[in-house]
Structure 1
Amino acid sequence: MTTPWGELALARFPEDPRERLRAWDASDEYLLKHLADQGTPLSGTVVVVGDRWGALVTALAAHRPVQITDSFLAQEATRANLGRNGVATGTVRLLTTQDPPPDRVDVLLVRVPKSLALLEDQLLRLAPAVHEGTVVVGTGMVKEIHTSTLRLFERILGPTRTSLAEKKARLIFCTPEPSREREPSVHPWPYTYTLPGGIGSVSGRTVVNHAGVFCADRLDIGTRFFLQHLPDTKGTRRVVDLGCGNGVVGTAVALANPEAEVLFVDESFQAVASAEATYKANGVPGHAEFRVGDGLAGVPAGSVDLALTNPPFHSHQTTTDATAWRMFSGARRALGPGGELWVIGNRHLGYHVKLRRLFGNSRLVASDAKFVVLKAVKE
């Protein structure tokens, strides 16, 4: 990536030589160009929210920025990109969306996330640290910035306007007014709701969702279908809710089989926090582990009896099967002989083809007009 301060070598994480997607986009370039052209003083505490692969903090490393991200993969990419460009990791302070934010923010740079809820959550958390002299600039592609996005900045921080579009990217300029009288607002996250009936062991149970987690205010139809067709886990020792989201599937297993050890894993810090909160809210007996990571990387080979997953098929705004393929491959390595991977997905995604290539088998367990539940066995 070409920046006003020189060239940077950047890659996504995990690095794949076949990957054609870049670790930055036009919105990152637009923001950096603006900061340089305007001579924006990058002094004091510089906070970068939502930096997708570490491009922004790597470019601004000389100013010792703080990165706040919900993504484990983004955090690992940042570490790798800093090293790739000869920057010591300690130069950038790496925080998650679950960590306490800095007490004072002098420059706030926001890469607008896909989730409006996550943006609201982060702006509300950071607002007490923002002062009248704080420079606030947001960035995103035109299709990612909506009227509702601008209203959030306006409501939480202060008057907001946008730039002209450049290479289909746009900037957001906000002038903080901490002393302005506002209507009292209650932080809406995490959000709690009750599950419907007819979905097995979790019928009528409580779900806790932190901001940005998929289907924050209701049970999505895919998970509902999956819950209606989960395998009988009696006698199963170790189960993984892979890409756990709010943990409903893993909690269902734990309720149905208190003897099972359930591992909840997701690359989202918000998701794993939600899964743990959901599990604890229902007083589930048994043993559970909650892990933020890249799928089943780091899980001992052959240590898992059953893996359950509803893999995502988007990476930010891009449709891709790379994440699903990595999850399936990781599950095959982690499963012991006879271990099973159960997958739910949209019919058109063709997951049965990938499972046959990896496992040598794939069986249709259930289907409706939109979804299929598939099973693959490690032989």
Structure 2
Amino acid sequence: MKTELVLHDQQFTLHRYPKRASETLQAWDAGDEYVINHFIETPLPLGSKVLILNDNFGALSCWFSHEHHVYLQTDSLVSQKGAQQNLLLNQCNEITLLHSTDAMPNDIDAVIMQLPKSNRFLTWQLHQLKTHLNPETPVVAVNKANAIHTSTLKLFEKHLGETRTSLAWKKHRLVFSQVGDQATPIVDEKTTWDVPEHNMQLNNLANVYSGESLDLGARFILEHLPQGSKHKNIIDLGCGNGVLSVKLGRNNPLSTITSVDESFMAVESARMNVTANVDNPERYTFLANNCLEDFKKDSYDLVVCNPPFHQQNTVTDHIAWQMFCDAHNVLETAGELLVVGNGHLGYLAKLTRLFGKGRVSVVASNKKFVILSAKKAS
């Protein structure tokens, strides 16, 4: 696995975050290289203010910080930490870090965007570009060629203006657009929908997973969450829009609950939904974090988890494994990890290896999902 990006007489050492000894994935891809090549051929004026959206681990931020004032906006705390790690490692100039929930700066000279997986999030970002930037500000976006569809280009045209694409290079393509002065549709910052069987109304910011209906795993585990406040300190790990946090709070009115996600929009959505759906939200803590990094050891008695199986556009199970390991670390003796996942993912074997033989049991299962309980030994 390469860690050295060498291009146009510059060299950067780049790692994904968190850095793993057995890492098999690069911290950049050919799309990053294509963007850099484009700006070598058509350079920006020295000292330009460049807004970079969705830089996965900071490769573009490192490169452009050498000659420009860089603003990096991302919804991912992991991506943000990766960028910070790589900027420091390569002794790059300082950049300005922005959360996805922050307003975009107004005086930007150029925008570079790695296209997000979610069209809802892309639509929101394009709307924000149109709202905050001056007309004729150039926008250059990149993604794998097979992920740039006619519908993608129509979104750019609808919300920005005239749009064209490059030729494909190493299976990637660039999208060229600019902020226009024509009227464009208003985009709501959130979607709102009901979960009538649980008497909830949920608000979801643009990049929250399953933002228009309950995902099936969450729907299944909602019926099997503990109640009665026997657990005093609970973590909803990978909280998403906070639907499990809401149900945990209703079921356990005396418990304190910490809602954790690496997505800034997810954490803010969870905060909104708990506030709207739970009587005493002051007992909650909402935190953007890399799993349970830096949480106090042996200090919680229940962790509930509906793990993701991808990081940005990469399918991987290392995030679930990190969640399980971190949960084991923060649980007190006899503390419980409650997990829902697709049956084919093999979580039973993974949790047994971590918690020990006889410490993991099946709470419930259906044709697609299994709910597992793992209890920490003394």
Comparing 135-144 and 337-346, the one that deviates more:
135-144
Does the C-alpha gap of structure 1 residues 136 and 41 become closer, same or farther in structure 2, counting only changes over 3 Å?
A: farther
* Cα distance in 2, alignment partners of residues 217 and 253 from structure 1: 21
Which stretches in structure 2 are left out of the alignment for 5+ residues? none
What SS class does the counterpart of residue 351 from structure 2 fall into? helix
Question: Do 1:346 and 1:370's aligned partners in 2 also have CA atoms closer than 8 Å?
Answer: yes
Using the TM superposition, give the Cα deviation of residue 376 of structure 1 relative to its aligned residue in structure 2, in angstroms. Answer: 0.2
Alpha-carbon distance in 2 for matches of 1:314, 1:175: 31
Is the Cα–Cα contact under 8 Å of residues 360 and 374 in structure 2 kept in the other structure?
yes
Q: Distance in 1 between matches of 2:46 and 2:376?
A: 54
What letter corresponds to residue 271 of structure 1 in structure 2? A
What letter matches 1:330 in structure 2? D
- 1:73-110, CA deviations, whole angstroms, 9 ceiling, x for partnerless residues? 1111111101111124xx11010101121022210111
Task: Identify which of 29, 39, 49 aligns with 2:53.
Answer: 49
Match of 2:75 in 1: 70
State, as a whole percentage, how many aligned pairs show the same letter: 39
Could you tell me which residue of structure 1 aligns to residue 266 of structure 2? 271
Q: Tell me the secondary structure at the aligned position of residue 225 of structure 1.
A: helix
Q: Deviations over 1:35-79 (max 9, x none)?
A: 101224364321000101111010111212000000001111111
Cα distance change, pair 69–305 in 1 and its aligned pair in 2 (3 A): same
Measured in 2, the distance between the counterparts of 1:42 and 1:137 equals 18
Q: 1:316 aligns with which of 312, 334, 338?
A: 312
The 8 Å contact of residues 113 and 140 in structure 2, kept in 1 or not, is answered as: yes
Pair 244,42 (structure 1): closer, same or farther in 2 beyond 3 Å: farther
Please give the secondary structure, in 2, of the residue aligned with 1:291.
strand
1:352 aligns with 2:345: no
1:231 and 2:226 aligned: yes
| Change in CA separation of 1:250 and 1:283 when aligned onto 2, cut-off 3 Å | closer
Q: Alignment partner for residue 326 of structure 2, among 318, 330, 341? A: 330
CA contact (8 A) 1:233 1:253 kept: no
Give the whole-Å Cα distance in 1 for the aligned partners of 2:65 and 2:234. Answer: 41
Alignment correspondent of 2:214: 219
**TM superposition shift of 1:216:** 0.6
Matches of 2:279 and 2:145, distance apart in 1 = 44
CA contact (8 A) 1:4 1:32 kept: no
- Residue 142 (structure 1) shift: 1.4
What is the alpha-carbon distance in structure 2 between the residues aligned to residue 233 and residue 189 of structure 1? 36
Question: SS state of the match for residue 17, structure 1?
Answer: coil
Code of the aligned partner of 1:331: A
Q: Deviations over 1:184-242 (max 9, x none)?
A: x2322211111131xxxxx1211110001111111111111010111235221111000
Task: Output the amino acid matched with 1:41.
Answer: P
Work out whether 1:29 is the aligned partner of 2:33.
yes
Rounded to whole Å, the distance in 1 between the matches of 2:217 and 2:96 is: 38
Cα displacement (A) at 1:358: 0.7
Aligned length: 369
User: In structure 2, what is the equivalent of residue 297 of structure 1?
Assistant: 293
Map of 1:100 onto structure 2:
103
Q: Is the 8 A contact 1:106 1:133 kept in 2?
A: no
1:200 is aligned to none
* Contact persistence 1:160–1:174 (CA under 8 A): yes
Structure 1 residues not aligned, in runs of 5+: 198-202
2:13 maps to which of 9, 12, 21 = 9
**C-alpha separation between the residues in 1 aligned to 2:263 and 2:7?**
29
SS at match of 1:207: strand
Q: CA deviation at 1:5?
A: 4.8
Structure 1 distance, partners of 2:134, 2:9, is 28
* Aligned AA (1:321): D
TM-score computed with the length of structure 2 as normaliser: 0.95
CA separation in 1, counterparts of 2:284 and 2:44? 48
- Name the counterpart of 1:151: 154
- Pairing partner for 1:117 from 117, 120, 129: 120
RMSD: 1.3
> Is the CA contact 1:112–1:144 (under 8 Å) kept in the aligned structure 2?
no
Mapped contact 2:250–2:278 kept (Cα < 8 A): no
The CA distance in 1 between the partners of 2:113 and 2:21, in whole Å, is 29
